Amino acid sequence: MEFDLQLQTEECLRSGSKAVREIDGLPWKGGNETNPDYECLRAELRKMAPPNGRAVLLFRAKCGCPVAKLEGWGAKRGGGGRRSKKSLNS
């Protein structure tokens, strides 16, 4: 089996390109997301992933067609989210 690694940025994922949709439709390698055999590899993928993006390891058949994926999401980047306002009239 062959494989390749793709790093996808937040902008790439937002665009919803055909490539992103095809990857999203692939089954997880190992059958589900919580397979302990793959957790170490997923931790490494998370380290490589860009903020708010993902690193995807694609498993390919000999013909080059993707058959499964393993992905790790990057750290959430704070975008100056909402802050609670404290009353000044206390």
More confident residue, 88 or 59: 59
Q: Each residue of 6-47: pLDDT tens digit?
A: 999 999 899 888 888 889 999 887 666 677 778 888 889 999
Q: Which domain holds residue 60?
A: 2-73
What is the domain count for the chain?
1
Question: Is residue 68 included in any domain, yes or no?
Answer: yes
Question: Is residue 79 included in any domain, yes or no?
Answer: no
Rounded to whole angstroms, the maximal C-alpha distance in the chain is 69
> Sheet harboring 54-60: ordered strands across?
2-8, 54-60, 66-73
Sign of CA dihedral 70, 75, 80, 83: positive
Q: How far is CA 10 from the centre of its chain?
A: 10
Question: Is residue 89 included in any domain, yes or no?
Answer: no
Q: Each residue of 42-80: pLDDT tens digit?
A: 889 999 999 999 999 999 999 999 999 999 999 987 765
Other Cβ atoms closer than 10 A to 19: 13
Other Cβ atoms closer than 10 A to 2: 13
Give the pLDDT of residue 19. 84
